[in-house]
A and B are shown apart, each in its own frame.
Chain A
Amino acid sequence: MNVLVFLIPVSLILGGIGAAAFIWTLKTDQYDDPAGDAARILLDEDGPDAGPIEDSKEN
Chain B
Amino acid sequence: MTTAVCPACSTSSLAVSQAEDAQANVFLSLPEIHCAGCIGKVERALNGLDGVRNARVNLSLKRVAIATDLPVATLVETLEKAGYEAHPLDSKLLDTGADPQGRALLFRLGLSGFAMMNVMLLSVSVWSGAEAVTRDMFHLISAAIALPVVLIAGQPFFHNAWSALKVRTLNMDVPISLAILLAAGMSLFETLNGGEHAYFDAALSLTFFLLIGRYLDHRSRSAARSAASELSALEVRTATRMRGEATEIVDVTDLAIGDEVLIPTGVRVPADGELLSGQARTDRSFLTGESDAVHLQRGEAVQAGEVNLGQPFRIRATAVGEDTTLRRVAALVETAEGARNRYTALADRAARVYAPTVHLLALAAFVAWLAATGDVRHAINIAIAVLIITCPCALGLAVPAVSTAAIGKLYDLGFLVKSGTALERLAEVDTVVFDKTGTLTLPGFDLTVSDLDPDQRAVARALAQSSSHPASRALTEALSGVAPATVTDIEEVSGHGVVGRWNGKTVRLGHGTWLGASFRGLGLGIGDAATEIVQSEKLRPGAPEAIGELKAMGYDVILMSGDRTAAVEEVAARLSIPDLHAGVSAEEKHAILGRLAEAGHKVAMVGDGLNDAASLAAAHASIAPSSALDATRNAADIVVLRETFADIPKTFRTARAATHLSRQNFGIATVYNMIAVPVALAGFATPLIAALSMSSSSITVLLNALRVRWVK
Contact across chains for B58 and A46 when beta carbons are under 8 A apart: no
In chain A between 12 and 59, which residues have their CB closer than 8 angstroms to a CB of chain B? Answer: 12, 15, 18-19, 22-23, 26, 28-36, 39-43, 45-46, 49-50, 52-59
Assuming the contacts A11-B121, A26-B107, A40-B36, asked whether A52 and B44 have C-beta atoms less than 8 A apart, the reply is yes
A1 located at the interface, meaning its Cβ lies under 8 Å from any Cβ of chain B in the complex: yes
B292 to chain A, nearest CB (A): 44
Contact across chains for B118 and A12 when beta carbons are under 8 A apart: yes
Interface size grouping (class) on chain A = 35 or more
B60 to chain A, nearest CB (A): 4
In the complex, given contacts A28-B14, A59-B19, what are 18 additional A-B residue pairs having Cβ atoms less than 8 angstroms apart? A1-B134, A12-B118, A12-B145, A19-B114, A26-B106, A30-B14, A31-B103, A32-B60, A34-B60, A35-B60, A42-B36, A43-B36, A45-B11, A50-B40, A54-B7, A54-B10, A58-B3, A58-B53
Q: What chain A residues lie within 8 Å of B16 (beta carbons)?
A: 57
Q: What chain A residues lie within 8 Å of B47 (beta carbons)?
A: 52-53, 55-56
Interface residues of B, Cβ cutoff 8 Å to A: 1-4, 7-8, 10-11, 14, 16, 18-20, 23, 35-36, 39-40, 43-44, 47-48, 52-54, 57-61, 98, 103, 106-107, 110-111, 114, 117-118, 121, 134, 141, 145
Contact across chains for B39 and A43 when beta carbons are under 8 A apart: yes
Contact across chains for A22 and B114 when beta carbons are under 8 A apart: yes
Contact across chains for A45 and B53 when beta carbons are under 8 A apart: no
Contact across chains for A39 and B36 when beta carbons are under 8 A apart: yes
Assuming the contacts A11-B118, A29-B18, A33-B59, asked whether A59 and B107 have C-beta atoms less than 8 A apart, the reply is no
Q: What chain B residues lie within 8 Å of A23 (beta carbons)?
A: 107, 110
Q: What chain B residues lie within 8 Å of A34 (beta carbons)?
A: 60
Contact across chains for B103 and A46 when beta carbons are under 8 A apart: no
Contact across chains for B98 and A32 when beta carbons are under 8 A apart: yes
Q: CB within 8 A of A36: which of B1, B4, B58?
A: B58
Assuming the contacts A1-B134, A26-B103, A58-B2, asked whether A39 and B48 have C-beta atoms less than 8 A apart, the reply is no
Assuming the contacts A11-B121, A39-B36, asked whether A57 and B114 have C-beta atoms less than 8 A apart, the reply is no
Q: How far is the CA of A18 from the CA of B145 in the complex (A)?
A: 14
Closest 9 CB pairs of A and B: A36-B59, A39-B36, A42-B36, A54-B7, A52-B48, A57-B10, A19-B114, A35-B59, A22-B110
Q: How far is the CA of A4 from the CA of B57 in the complex (A)?
A: 50
Contact across chains for A46 and B110 when beta carbons are under 8 A apart: no
Closest to B113 in A: A22
A3 located at the interface, meaning its Cβ lies under 8 Å from any Cβ of chain B in the complex: no
Closest to A17 in B: B114
Task: Jot down 26 A-B pairs with beta carbons below 8 A, ordered by A.
Answer: A11-B121, A12-B141, A19-B111, A19-B114, A23-B107, A26-B103, A26-B107, A29-B98, A30-B14, A32-B58, A35-B59, A35-B60, A36-B58, A36-B60, A39-B59, A43-B36, A45-B8, A49-B44, A50-B7, A50-B40, A53-B43, A54-B11, A56-B48, A57-B4, A57-B11, A59-B23
Q: How far is the CA of A34 from the CA of B118 in the complex (A)?
A: 27
Q: How far is the CA of A12 from the CA of B134 in the complex (A)?
A: 17
Q: How far is the CA of A44 from the CA of B61 in the complex (A)?
A: 22
Q: What chain A residues lie within 8 Å of B35 (beta carbons)?
A: 39
Q: Which of B16, B98, B103, B114 has the most CB of A within 10 A?
A: B114
A45 to chain B, nearest CB (A): 6
Interface residues of A, Cβ cutoff 8 Å to B: 1, 4, 8, 11-12, 15, 18-19, 22-23, 26, 28-36, 39-43, 45-46, 49-50, 52-59
B125 to chain A, nearest CB (A): 9
Contact across chains for B44 and A56 when beta carbons are under 8 A apart: no
Q: How far is the CA of A58 from the CA of B39 in the complex (A)?
A: 20
Contact across chains for B39 and A26 when beta carbons are under 8 A apart: no
Contact across chains for A31 and B106 when beta carbons are under 8 A apart: yes
Contact across chains for B114 and A18 when beta carbons are under 8 A apart: yes
Closest to A36 in B: B59
Q: What chain B residues lie within 8 Å of A58 (beta carbons)?
A: 1-3, 53
Contact across chains for B40 and A19 when beta carbons are under 8 A apart: no
Assuming the contacts A26-B106, A50-B44, A53-B44, asked whether A59 and B2 have C-beta atoms less than 8 A apart, the reply is yes
Q: How far is the CA of A52 from the CA of B7 in the complex (A)?
A: 11
Closest to A31 in B: B106
Closest to B17 in A: A29
Q: What chain B residues lie within 8 Å of A1 (beta carbons)?
A: 134
Contact across chains for A46 and B20 when beta carbons are under 8 A apart: no
A32 to chain B, nearest CB (A): 6
Q: How far is the CA of A32 from the CA of B23 in the complex (A)?
A: 17
Q: What chain B residues lie within 8 Å of A54 (beta carbons)?
A: 4, 7, 10-11
Q: How far is the CA of A46 from the CA of B54 in the complex (A)?
A: 17
Contact across chains for A59 and B1 when beta carbons are under 8 A apart: yes
Contact across chains for B39 and A40 when beta carbons are under 8 A apart: yes
Q: What chain B residues lie within 8 Å of A53 (beta carbons)?
A: 11, 43-44, 47
Q: What chain B residues lie within 8 Å of A39 (beta carbons)?
A: 35-36, 39, 59
A13 to chain B, nearest CB (A): 11
B132 to chain A, nearest CB (A): 12
Q: What chain B residues lie within 8 Å of A49 (beta carbons)?
A: 40, 44
Q: How far is the CA of A17 from the CA of B284 in the complex (A)?
A: 63
Q: How far is the CA of A20 from the CA of B689 in the complex (A)?
A: 31
Q: What chain A residues lie within 8 Å of B11 (beta carbons)?
A: 45, 53-54, 57
Q: How far is the CA of A24 from the CA of B8 in the complex (A)?
A: 22
Q: How far is the CA of A42 from the CA of B10 in the complex (A)?
A: 17
Q: How far is the CA of A45 from the CA of B9 in the complex (A)?
A: 10
B35 to chain A, nearest CB (A): 6
Closest to A54 in B: B7
B287 to chain A, nearest CB (A): 39
A42 to chain B, nearest CB (A): 4
Q: What chain B residues lie within 8 Å of A8 (beta carbons)?
A: 141
B651 to chain A, nearest CB (A): 20
B409 to chain A, nearest CB (A): 13
B133 to chain A, nearest CB (A): 10
Contact across chains for A15 and B114 when beta carbons are under 8 A apart: yes
Closest to B412 in A: A35
Q: How far is the CA of A39 from the CA of B36 in the complex (A)?
A: 5
Q: How far is the CA of A12 from the CA of B145 in the complex (A)?
A: 9
Q: What chain B residues lie within 8 Å of A55 (beta carbons)?
A: 47
Q: What chain A residues lie within 8 Å of B111 (beta carbons)?
A: 19
Q: What chain A residues lie within 8 Å of B20 (beta carbons)?
A: 59
Q: What chain B residues lie within 8 Å of A12 (beta carbons)?
A: 118, 141, 145
Q: What chain B residues lie within 8 Å of A15 (beta carbons)?
A: 114, 117-118
Q: What chain B residues lie within 8 Å of A42 (beta carbons)?
A: 36
Contact across chains for B39 and A45 when beta carbons are under 8 A apart: no
Q: How far is the CA of A30 from the CA of B429 in the complex (A)?
A: 40
Contact across chains for A19 and B134 when beta carbons are under 8 A apart: no
Q: How far is the CA of A45 from the CA of B35 in the complex (A)?
A: 15
Closest to B35 in A: A39
Q: How far is the CA of A33 from the CA of B117 in the complex (A)?
A: 27
Q: What chain B residues lie within 8 Å of A40 (beta carbons)?
A: 36, 39
B56 to chain A, nearest CB (A): 9
A7 to chain B, nearest CB (A): 10
Closest to B59 in A: A36
Contact across chains for B7 and A45 when beta carbons are under 8 A apart: yes
